[in-house]
Structure 1
Amino acid sequence: MDIREWWPLLNAETRDWLIDHNGEPLPPNVVARIMTATGGTTDSRWWASESTDGPHLSDEAVDWIEGVANDEDPTVS
């Protein structure tokens, strides 16, 4: 599922957390909300890796969220 599809399905609190902590490891509650919104799919374009600190979104997802935070119209390549 494309980030443009699941982003509006997230509650405002989760979207705000992703903007405020863009690029940081995701806490379990944020992962759970994203997984609920996506129906459990983990598109490799958006999920980069798992680290000891938690899962990370891909650089493409981080860039997309940054575009949203800057009131830009982010596109997906």
Structure 2
Amino acid sequence: MSMEVWWPRLRHETRDWLIANNGDALPVSVVAEITRAGGLVGTDAWWVGQNGPTGFYLSDAAVDWIEEVANGETPAAGTTAD
């Protein structure tokens, strides 16, 4: 499921955290909430970045998308259908 769909399903506090910590590794609790909201982090979706020993990261495109949301803009949909 694409970020545009699961983003509004997140708690307001989680969206605020993602905006304030944009580009940082996501805590396990945030990854779990994204998954519950429909974002499957084990896919090749446009918003999925690196997942490794240092944590799970959103893609550069997702970081840009969140920045646009934070700036009150309406971000474009993801770069691929997922």
TM-score by length of 2: 0.85
Unaligned runs of 5+ in 1: none
Amino acid at match of 2:31: V
- Are the equivalent residues in 1 in contact too, given 2:34–2:40 (CA < 8 A)? no
How many residue pairs end up in the alignment? 76
Q: CA RMSD in A?
A: 1.3
Amino acid at match of 2:35: M
Instruction: Give the equivalent residue in structure 1 for 2:32.
Output: 32
Unaligned runs of 5+ in 2: none
Deviation of 1:46 after TM superposition, in Å, equals: 1.0
Instruction: Give the equivalent residue in structure 2 for 1:60.
Output: 61
Instruction: Give the equivalent residue in structure 2 for 1:47.
Output: 48
Partners of 1:31 and 1:59 in 2: CA distance = 17
Higher helix share: 1
- The sequence identity of aligned pairs, in percent, is 50
Partners of 2:55 and 2:40 in 1: CA distance = 17
Partners of 1:17 and 1:53 in 2: CA distance = 18
TM-score by length of 1: 0.90
Deviation of 1:53 after TM superposition, in Å, equals: 2.2
Deviates more, 1:58-67 or 1:45-54: 45-54
Deviates more, 1:65-74 or 1:48-57: 48-57
* Structure with higher RCO (Cα < 8 A, 6+ apart): 2
